[in-house]
Structure 1
Amino acid sequence: MEHYKKEVREIEMHLSKNPRAQVPQHHHNDHHHHHHRHGHAHAYGYDHARVHARDNLSKLIDHLQSVSITEEPNNPFLLERNLRGLSPRNPISPFNGENHNAGFSSSSISNSSYPKKFGFDPYWDSYNLNLSTHRRCQNDERFDYELRNRRGFANRGLYGPVNENSAIYLLAKDQQGCKYLQEKIHKGKDQVDLIYDGVFGHMGELMMDPSGSSLMQKLFELCSEEQKTRIALALKENPVAFFEISVDEHGTMSVQKLIENFKTREQSTLFMTALKPWLLDLIKDINGNHVIKHCLKSLVPEDTKCIFDAAIKYCIEIATDRHGCCVMQGCISHSSGDYRTNLIAEICSNGLMLAQDAFGNYVVQYVIGLKSHSTNTILASQFQGHYVQLSMQKFSSNVVEKCFKEFHEELKAAIVFEMLAAPELEELLQHPFANYVIQSALSNTKGAAYTALVDAIRYHAAVLRTSPYCKRILALLRGKSLAF
């Protein structure tokens, strides 16, 4: 508490040098109004509003005396934070060096250092313009006038004024304030520049804020190329903060909107430099994978080649991941030339293993769906001798069904004859997964392979009438006007 007593003495010393901001001595009584020293408050020219302001200053002093903070007492940022009345509920990350790094600092002061509730919020409870005033105020021109002239964030008798940039940042974090700024951002370049300057020092925090992220997305659409380049540079210089933003549920949407609005090669190069150290982690993250897919969709292949390199190098790890399998399909879709050839070749060489995986099977099905005869021939050679086993597994049975839908006739016929030669045919007909494979074979084959399959099924006609899974096969055959 000793350092807080020192802060209070500094405030009182400042107030003594600024008579207009002095806090009068008064006492509180539950049944009476405030009684100022000598009973001559109005003799000093104070109206009711100024008395209220002085009361707020007194409350702020009480607040400083009661709050217990674990940070070092000589921390200049902490001192400024309290003396300027910035709410502990809206922490502001300290700057990293002189460039401010767009607020992408990972060394922010933890909220856990502050009490959860305060009876008095020295920022929003000011007698001057505050957010509640804006909510009640229907006249936007008055609000604009007060914002431009800093009347709402003027000198409170404490360490100088809070400038309009701080006002914009705090408005951006409030739901109503954010809506107001989004209306203003469409009214010309000067408004865009004003808001950009106001939020740049806290952009990393706002991109992850529920309200601020929507403003950031609008800003990325309207800001200049120079401003977007500055943002990309800040991300490059703070890769850890970039990762934290990308995996955040609100931050990922902000980053995706930024990617969509890149127009220059310099912007893309700076951004991909920030992304590269976290590539594999982002691919496998529930939010981060959308950033990777947006890069594939919005940037040219020359800029995203590091993603293709990773997809080839870590093919199995990515393809067998819940989110990675979707990214892998995107890599195939957006790649070309040697990258596409090498990526598909890597998948095909591991086709048998991937087909049996809960997520890898989707990647194999996607490759089969490309309908490349050479590629499907390679996969067919991988599956050869394993079709019965694959048909009786939950995930790989979907792959075999896809083979019957997309393979050429000779490859389909080879699958049918391999299954007919197996002693497990009767088991396949009654199997909860394999029966769907048999149905796909009946629906997608023709000629000798189809005839041989129907004859084999007719041989087991007695089983078709008793097994619940065989009944589906029987219904399909009857639909083709075949008697059993």
Structure 2
Amino acid sequence: MQDANGLREALRLVELCRVSVSAPPSDGSNPHSPSSQKQLIRPLVIKECMERASDLSMNANGSELMLHVVPLLSNGAVSAASQRQATDASAAPAEYSEYMQLIEILGKDLVIMCCNTNGARVAQKIADSLKHLEEFHCFSKAVSSSVVTLATDINGNHTLSKFMLCERSKRLSVQGSNEYERQQLEQIEKQIYDVLSKECISVCRNRQGCCIIQKCLQWAPEPYHSQILNTVLSSVLKLVQDPFGNYVIQFILERQDDIACPGNAEKPNYTNEIIRYMLHHVAELSCNKFSSNVIEKCLKAAHSDVKQLMVDELTEPQVLPKLLTDSYANYVIQTAIATASDEAQYNQLRDAIMPLQSLLKNSPYGVKIENKLARRHRDPSIRHPKKRNAPNATKFSVEGDILNPQFMPNLTTLQMVSRDGSMGQTVALTNINSNDVSSFLNPQHMMNSVPFVLQGQQMLGMHNAPQPQPFAVNVMHNSDTLQPEYN
């Protein structure tokens, strides 16, 4: 097993074992016949692999061999090791479990194997092959003292997750069975989920552990499901600021229906509960790298009245300047604008932001925030919510300007002229003196100059100029969207 050649030879023996299992039983009349010899090979190979299972599983070549050996083992309700000790066999040979025997041989090494890169693959194969509750109980008992270790290990968490999934499938298949099976299930669940519910927060704050807690929120039975969920919700402020704990909170926001408590007829609304814990800290959390993502998801998922409480905190004059220029909070402001529930909420954000336009000009995020305001103003769903899906929703007329002159004080305005000489849109030019406008921009110059596009930062064509000069312009929307003739 030290090289590829040894692995190939070992795999040939395993294949012979597979053939002997599928072959019809020999009558025993000729012990030297090929079929009889093949049937003798299996117990020898299985016994040898079981005795060296720990070393083989943690070796690259050996783990490959074990992945082929594990499916050949037999399932049953009684450990095969007890077969040798029983003088009066109370179970038929078919009821003996070689999986239980293997787990008992591994003992404490099973946890070490689960945390090994190669061994974890073998451990997952074992967990995936269990069929009887007694086998699940044997596995859970072997790892019960190291559940947190497995949950927070880069390899062990995959084995624990696989076992939890297989145990859940078995639990669903035996629901309503006899009292003995229910007791077996309770013992298995307690050995796995009891410690996770008690160490929930520390596990949440681990890179691998946060994934295990998400699985628990989907698969854990009662009462452990409610215990884990309530513990997480009561620690929202701590978890949202954690590099890994925030993913658990985001998972709850996104998958509320999947993690509903079993037997709860009412549709859960964990978003409101999460926001309730974060109120009066919304601005502070918006400036945090991790919690800002949670705030954004809350703005997207919250109901209008709950979202209004968050918007009120975001638009407070004392904190808004900091939020507009913060590298994380500016995205929260953009999300608040984009998800404004109605025109009143949008106007509240706009009226709070526009007096701080000088801050936006000096901020790398100012242009994005201004674009969000302009884009949301053009969104017809604010004024016409019933026409959200209308085919011509982007082409509409509104009274007044997109950006009123009061929001852009001291800017030079200019009436645009089309090619036929008629008056067109009004634009406001920055960095241009009002005295200079008449000297280089007049109807004949504009009709004969290089065409330019009114969108974002513009290249304004100047008559007889060696090259176009850049100026920032904003369209003052009087009647309708720009027509191609002004290009």
Give TM-score, length-normalised by structure 1.
Answer: 0.61
- Give the aligned length: 340
Q: Matches of residues 401-412 of structure 1 in structure 2 within 5 Å?
A: 401-409=334-342, 410-412=344-346
Alignment partners' CA distance in 1, 2:271 and 2:46: 60
Partner of 1:366: 297
Partner of 2:227: 306
Q: Matches of residues 83-482 of structure 1 in structure 2 within 5 Å?
A: 133-137=6-10, 139-140=12-13, 144=17, 148-149=43-44, 165-187=50-72, 189-190=74-75, 193-200=97-104, 201=107, 202-224=109-131, 225-236=133-144, 238=145, 241-263=146-168, 264=171, 266=186, 267-299=188-220, 302-332=223-253, 333-334=255-256, 336=260, 337=268, 341-385=272-316, 386-409=319-342, 410-420=344-354, 422=355, 424-446=356-378, 451=401, 453=403, 455=405, 456-457=407-408, 460=411, 461-463=428-430, 471=457, 481=482
| Post-superposition offset of 1:132 | 6.6
Change (3 A) 1:464 1:193: farther
| Post-superposition offset of 1:441 | 1.1
Contact 1:308 1:331 (8 Å CA) reproduced: no
Change (3 A) 1:242 1:137: closer
Percent of residue pairs bearing the same amino acid type:
10
Partner of 1:111: none
Q: Matches of residues 63-82 of structure 1 in structure 2 within 5 Å?
A: none
Q: Which has the higher contact order (CA 8 A, sep 6+)?
A: 1
Alignment partners' CA distance in 2, 1:255 and 1:289: 13
Contact 1:308 1:339 (8 Å CA) reproduced: no
Task: Give the counterpart letter for 2:359 in structure 1.
Answer: E
Change (3 A) 1:462 1:151: closer
| Post-superposition offset of 1:340 | 5.3
Task: Give the counterpart letter for 2:120 in structure 1.
Answer: S
Alignment partners' CA distance in 1, 2:224 and 2:400: 49
Change (3 A) 1:259 1:439: same
Contact 2:250 2:294 (8 Å CA) reproduced: yes
Alignment partners' CA distance in 2, 1:349 and 1:373: 18
Secondary structure (helix, strand or coil) at the match of 1:453 reads: coil
Higher strand share: 2
| Post-superposition offset of 1:462 | 4.2
| Post-superposition offset of 1:319 | 0.2
Change (3 A) 1:347 1:401: same
| Post-superposition offset of 1:190 | 4.2
Secondary structure (helix, strand or coil) at the match of 1:139 reads: helix
Task: Give the counterpart letter for 1:344 in structure 2.
Answer: I
Contact 1:416 1:453 (8 Å CA) reproduced: no
Secondary structure (helix, strand or coil) at the match of 1:262 reads: helix
Contact 2:287 2:329 (8 Å CA) reproduced: yes
Alignment partners' CA distance in 2, 1:475 and 1:229: 72
Change (3 A) 1:400 1:339: closer
Query: Which piece of structure 1 moves more, 309-318 or 352-361?
Result: 309-318
| Post-superposition offset of 1:412 | 1.1
Change (3 A) 1:137 1:315: closer
Alignment partners' CA distance in 2, 1:465 and 1:248: 63
Task: Give the counterpart letter for 2:348 in structure 1.
Answer: A
Change (3 A) 1:476 1:394: farther
Contact 2:271 2:302 (8 Å CA) reproduced: no
Secondary structure (helix, strand or coil) at the match of 1:185 reads: helix
| Post-superposition offset of 1:438 | 1.2
Contact 1:174 1:211 (8 Å CA) reproduced: yes
Once the two structures are superposed, what CA deviation does each residue of 1:102-126 show, in whole Å capped at 9, x if it has no partner? xxxxxxxxxxxxxxxxxxxxxx89x
Q: Matches of residues 3-42 of structure 1 in structure 2 within 5 Å?
A: none
**Structure 2 gap ranges (5+):** 18-39, 77-95, 172-184, 261-267, 384-397, 412-427, 434-455, 459-470
Partner of 1:77: none
Alignment partners' CA distance in 1, 2:41 and 2:474: 76
Change (3 A) 1:285 1:274: same
| Post-superposition offset of 1:414 | 0.8
Contact 1:371 1:406 (8 Å CA) reproduced: no
Alignment partners' CA distance in 2, 1:248 and 1:219: 19
| Post-superposition offset of 1:452 | 5.8
| Post-superposition offset of 1:260 | 1.7
Alignment partners' CA distance in 2, 1:315 and 1:301: 22
| Post-superposition offset of 1:415 | 0.5
| Post-superposition offset of 1:348 | 3.6
| Post-superposition offset of 1:229 | 3.0
| Post-superposition offset of 1:398 | 0.5
Give TM-score, length-normalised by structure 2.
Answer: 0.60
**Structure 1 gap ranges (5+):** 1-123, 154-163
Partner of 2:29: none
Task: Give the counterpart letter for 2:162 in structure 1.
Answer: K
Alignment partners' CA distance in 1, 2:457 and 2:154: 47
Query: Which piece of structure 1 moves more, 312-321 or 257-266?
Result: 257-266
| Post-superposition offset of 1:363 | 0.6
| Post-superposition offset of 1:251 | 0.7
| Post-superposition offset of 1:186 | 3.5
Secondary structure (helix, strand or coil) at the match of 1:358 reads: coil
Contact 2:321 2:359 (8 Å CA) reproduced: no
Alignment partners' CA distance in 1, 2:110 and 2:287: 44
Contact 1:416 1:449 (8 Å CA) reproduced: no
Secondary structure (helix, strand or coil) at the match of 2:323 reads: helix
Change (3 A) 1:356 1:189: same
